[in-house]
Amino acid sequence: MQDMFFLTSLCCLAVPRNFRLLEELERGEKGIGDGTVSYGMDDGDDIYMRSWTGTIIGPHNSVHEGRIYQLKLFCDKDYPEKPPSVRFHSRINLTCVNNETGVIEAKKFGMLANWQREYTMEDILTQLKKEMAAPHNRKLVQPPEGTYF
109-121: pLDDT as tens digits:
999 999 999 999 9
pLDDT (0 to 100) of residue 6: 47
What is the rounded distance in angstroms from the CA atom of residue 13 to the CA atom of residue 20? 12
Residue pair 115/124 in contact by the 8 Å Cβ criterion? no
| Fold (topology level) of 2-133 | Ubiquitin Conjugating Enzyme (3.10.110)
pLDDT (0 to 100) of residue 53: 97
- The string of DSSP letters for 54-119 reads EEEEPPTTSTTTT-EEEEEEE--TTTTTSPPEEEESB----TTB-TTT-BB-GGGSHHHHT--TT-
pTM: predicted TM-score of the whole model, two decimal places: 0.87
Residue by residue, pLDDT tens for the chain (149 residues) are 555 444 444 444 444 798 999 999 998 888 777 789 999 999 989 999 999 999 999 999 999 999 999 999 999 999 999 999 999 999 999 999 999 999 999 999 999 999 999 999 999 999 999 999 999 999 999 999 999 99
pLDDT (0 to 100) of residue 5: 47
Rg (CA), the chain: 17
Helix/strand/coil (H, E, C) string of 101-132?
CCEECHHHCHHHHCCCCCCCHHHHHHHHHHHH
pLDDT (0 to 100) of residue 149: 96
Angle between helices 121-133 and 2-30 (to 10 degrees): 40
pLDDT (0 to 100) of residue 9: 46
pLDDT (0 to 100) of residue 45: 92
Domain boundaries, the chain: 2-133
What is the rounded distance in angstroms from the CA atom of residue 17 to the CA atom of residue 81? 9
**Closest Cα partner for 83 from 118, 59, 56?**
118
